[in-house]
Amino acid sequence: MNFNLNLQGAQEIGNYMQPGQYSVKVKNFESKESKNGHPQIAITFTHKEEGEFTHFANGDTSNDFAKNWLFTFLKAVGVQDNNGQFSFTEKDIIGKPINIELERKYNDYTEKWNTVLKRFWKFDGTAVYEKYEIKESEKNNSNQQQNSKPSVNDDNPFANANGPIDIQDSDLPFDWNDLIVKNY
């Protein structure tokens, strides 16, 4: 039997960067569209011992946060600007060193823990390397139970959304009596 498989972009299992702080190099920088058709920038970071991590950044430069994020990133990898105007190719970014911090975050939509880019900063010549331990509650288990979700702040009056809501009438911005529908 002959197989013809396109495994482009695949990695060996376990070759993904874990949470921590790393000095890395930019392996790839490309502009693409998200699954929903929005502009996106895919940046792959690589560490010689820990593997790779790909971050998908918002590429919509009309969005202030995305514009500021991209400006800061380009400055951190040493791309020169001319009064905020950047002219470069991916070759100007690939191979550049930068420091990144990865963290574990729970995604309520997918109900899974993911490793995400927390922050980045300019590489100043001093290598950073600190792996964080993944807590048992942050692992994605196939038999994951409700108790593996992040803890809820006890000060949140909506923490027990599946049960009665503990809000005092005096905390409400309206009077319950005004909402009672009267039968005439």
Residue 164 lies in a domain: no
pLDDT tens-digit profile of 79-131? 999 988 999 999 999 999 999 999 999 989 888 889 999 999 999 999 999 99
Residue-range definition of the domain harbouring residue 102: 20-133
Rounded to 5°, the CA angle 175-179-181 comes to 145
Residue 159 falls inside a structural domain: no
Query: What is the tally of structural domains in the chain?
Result: 1
Q: Is residue 156 part of a domain?
A: no
Structure tokens at 56: 């998908």
E strand segments, the chain: 20-33, 39-47, 51-58, 81-82, 85-86, 97-107, 112-122, 129-131
> Residue 173: inside a domain, yes or no?
no
Q: Which residue has the tokens 């495994």?
A: 7
How many residues belong to the chain? Answer: 184
Q: What is the pLDDT of residues 133-154, one digit of tens each?
A: 888 888 876 444 444 344 445 5
CATH of the domain at 70: 2.40.50
Residue 177 lies in a domain: no
Q: What is the pLDDT of residue 149?
A: 43
Give a yes or no: residue 123 inside a domain: yes
In this predicted model, what pLDDT tens digit does every residue of 63-81 receive, in sequence order?
Answer: 999 999 999 999 999 999 9
**Between β-strands 81-82 and 51-58, what pairing exists: parallel, antiparallel or unpaired?**
unpaired
Q: What is the mean pLDDT of residues 42-66?
A: 94
